[in-house]
Each structure stands twice: as C-alpha cells, then as structure tokens.
Amino acid sequence: MAPILLNCMGNDHNEYIKESVQVKNPYLDDMEEDILYHFSLSTKTHNLPEMFGDIKFVCVGGSANRMKAFAQFIHQELNLSGNPEELRDICEGTDRYCMYKVGPVLSISHGMGVPSISIMLHELIKLLHHAQCHDVVLFRLGTSGGVGLAPGTVVVTDKAVDYAFRPQFEQVVLGKVITRSTELDEGVANELLQCSTELQNIPTVIGNTMCTHDFYEGQGRLDGALCSFSHEEKLEYLRKAYEAGVRNIEMESTVFAAMCRVCGLKAAVICVALLNRFEGDQITSSHDVLVEYQQRPQVLVSHFIKKRLGLVVCNLLVAFCFKGFFSCNFSYDTRRLLKKMDCLDMFLVMIVLSNNI
C-alpha cells in the first residue's frame, strides 16, 4: 500500500529521523540497577521498554487530581478501549507523584516549584531513556498569573525567563553555578498556536513566561505573610516584565525548559492565566469558571496530540469520502491504520467498514 505523504511527527524533513532521549550522565551505564525512587519503579523490577517504549507524548502538571483528569480526558479523546475511570496510577507505591499511561501518552504530576518538578524530570528522563523511547514531545500544562492578559487566556511559552527576564536557568552544582538555556522548541509552539485557531473559546498567545521561586514575594504579591515593597513598586516591576515580553508568571518553566533542551527533548509550556496581575493578586473567579479555565490547556494539547497521530486528518478524509461518516466512532487502532493507507485503499476499507456498522 502506498503511504499517504503525512509526517505525523512534524513538518521538518529531518524529523523523520528518530530522536532518542539523551541522558547526560556516563555513570548510568555502569549501574546494575537504576531505582527511580520517587516513581516506585526500577530497571531491575520493571520491564521499562515493554511498559513505556511506545510513549510519544508526556504531559506534566502540578496537581495530581488535574493530571488524573487529563489522563481520563485523553483516553476518551483517543477513543481507547476500557473504562477511563479505572486507569491505574503507576506510581501508587509512592505519594510523591502520580503517573497514568494512556496509549502513547504519559500523564504525570510534578508538584509545585522548581525543586519538585526537577526531581520528577530527572527520573522521567531516565525512564524514557531506559524505555528506549524516541521522538517524544513533553508538555507542561498549568495555571499562571497573566501579565496584561484577560483571565482565561492560554499562554504558549516562547522563552522561559528568570526574575531578571533572562532566558536561563541557574543550577548550583558542588557550590558552583551552572547556567543553562531555557529556549523551547519554536516549531511545537507554533503548532500549538495553529491548533488554538482550530478550536473554539481558547484564546491563545505566544509569549515569555517568568519563573519565580515562590508564589508570593517572588511574584510581587501584596497579600503574603511578608511584603517589603509598595504597590507602585509592584506595578513598575510588572511593567518591566511586560516590556520584556513576559505574559505570565509561574514556578516551574525554567528548569523544565532547561532540562528538556539539554537532553534533546522537544518541549512546550502551556499555561492558562487565572487573573491579570495588573488588576490584583488574589484569584476571585468562581470554582466553575476556574475549572473551565484549567481545562483549556488540556483541550489544546489534546488537539495537538490527535493531529500528530493523524486522527484529525483521518476524520477529514473520512468525511470527504463518505458523507456522514465523520460521526462514526472509529477506534484509535482503526484510525492509525487508515492514516497509513492511500486514498484508494482507504476508500475500499471504508466500504467494508460501512457495511458492518
């Protein structure tokens, strides 16, 4: 069968080449066993290639409940078999993080702040390496404070910047400061922006994301237990941030971007703004509104994943070939098969399918 000329891993020609995870630690090769302690996994007690070798997309977020909800959501979006309510937490042996595998998607919580996500990323990247994964894209899905944006706006990060608006992450190693770049994959960001135009009610912009050390003083909030600055000083700092291209503030993006970049992983940060920090510090929207806001990055990334897997394309081809066929409930495996066929082969297969529906 002649394949459809469709690159589900992106538009660049060299992206057809498998891109492996690049761990930067020569000592790993000499270890008889690598214990991923905070995941309750090990290279000796678990067959990691068998468990995770087909992973193509990793979605991480701070809240365990939110990442469980995302796993259930993407399960439905990919039309996988089984009950999404019965997904098992792979990390149930520990209370640090949660992890759910849904087809080619891994959904993991990372807690709050750089230290928590850093620990998770070390073990996640080693997991992907041991599982011999390739062509993996990582996403951080989260919430943030907007800078000059209306609440509910989704920000796809261009560069993750520090408190001085520099695109870098500083890691102290053996008493010395190591500086790493925090630039993210431009192609993935642009794909996400394009995806947002194909969806309703998900206003999306690309901008810089400032990563801070804490939620209160580090973000210039006036409502913490400590406050050593004035309202005017806060607004002046936010104005400087806006002029530097910052459109939102959170607490994990710099280390996420830096570690993914060093290890050769394409990555994106997608966070929804819960408020405009020029207008206040406290989050006052209703619970229902906040839940809907928090779902926006999930819906956007889900659409991205479906396009990369060819599921959206297959729906359009089916609709073109058979009027009304768009509504048919094709399984994930069936759509993957259709994606690999040329139009004539697909036409013949759909005739058979239509006679059995």
pLDDT, position 59: 98
Is there a single domain that holds both residue 299 and residue 344? no
Q: How far is CA 81 from CA 72, 75, 296, in A?
A: 12, 8, 25
3-state secondary structure of 93: coil
Q: Round the CA-based radius of gyration of the chain to a whole number and report it.
A: 21
pLDDT, position 7: 36
Is there a single domain that holds both residue 305 and residue 171? yes
Is there a single domain that holds both residue 239 and residue 292? yes
Is there a single domain that holds both residue 170 and residue 244? yes
Is there a single domain that holds both residue 206 and residue 264? yes
Is there a single domain that holds both residue 178 and residue 279? yes
Q: What does the pLDDT average to over 49-54?
A: 97
241-286 pLDDT, tens digit per residue, is 999 999 999 999 999 999 999 999 999 999 999 999 999 999 999 9
Judge whether 108 lies within some domain: yes
pLDDT, position 317: 52
Residue 171's CB is within 10 A of a number of other CB atoms, namely 15
- What percent of the chain has a predicted confidence (pLDDT) above 90? 79
Is there a single domain that holds both residue 34 and residue 123? yes
Judge whether 314 lies within some domain: no
Judge whether 189 lies within some domain: yes
The closest alpha carbon to 268, from 286, 284, 256, 281, belongs to 256
Separation of alpha carbons 106 and 157, rounded Å? 21
Quick check: pTM over 0.85?
Answer: no
pLDDT, position 350: 56
Q: How far is CA 262 from CA 78, 140, 178, 258, 287, in A?
A: 31, 17, 12, 6, 38
Judge whether 53 lies within some domain: yes
Give the annotated binding-site residues for phosphate.
96, 140-143
Give the annotated binding-site residues for substrate.
219, 221
pLDDT, position 15: 45
The closest alpha carbon to 94, from 61, 118, 119, belongs to 119
User: Does the pLDDT value for residue 352 go beyond 50?
Assistant: yes
307-348 pLDDT, tens digit per residue, is 999 987 544 454 445 444 444 555 656 655 655 554 445 555
pLDDT, position 313: 57
CATH number at residue 71: 3.40.50.1580
Judge whether 175 lies within some domain: yes
pLDDT, position 18: 74
pLDDT, position 245: 98
Range of the domain at 104: 23-135
Lowest mean pLDDT among 7-16, 49-58, 73-82, 333-342: 7-16
Separation of alpha carbons 132 and 244, rounded Å? 39
Q: How confident is the model at residue 6 (pLDDT cuts 50, 70, 90)?
A: very low
Higher pLDDT, residue 140 or 1: 140
Lowest mean pLDDT among 91-95, 190-194, 268-272, 335-339: 335-339
Q: What does the pLDDT average to over 13-36?
A: 81
Judge whether 9 lies within some domain: no
Give the annotated binding-site residues.
96, 140-143, 219, 221
Is there a single domain that holds both residue 256 and residue 282? yes
Taking the alpha carbons at both ends of the chain, their separation in whole angstroms is: 24
Q: What does the pLDDT average to over 108-123?
A: 98
Q: How many domains does the chain have?
A: 3
Choose one of 272, 289, 309: the last residue of a domain: 309
Q: How confident is the model at residue 354 (pLDDT cuts 50, 70, 90)?
A: low
pLDDT, position 12: 46
Is there a single domain that holds both residue 196 and residue 111? no
Q: Helices 332-339 and 311-321: crossing angle, nearest 10°?
A: 70
pLDDT, position 9: 40
Is there a single domain that holds both residue 196 and residue 278? yes
130-178 pLDDT, tens digit per residue, is 999 999 999 999 999 999 999 999 999 999 999 999 999 999 999 999 9
Q: Give the amino acid at 81.
A: S
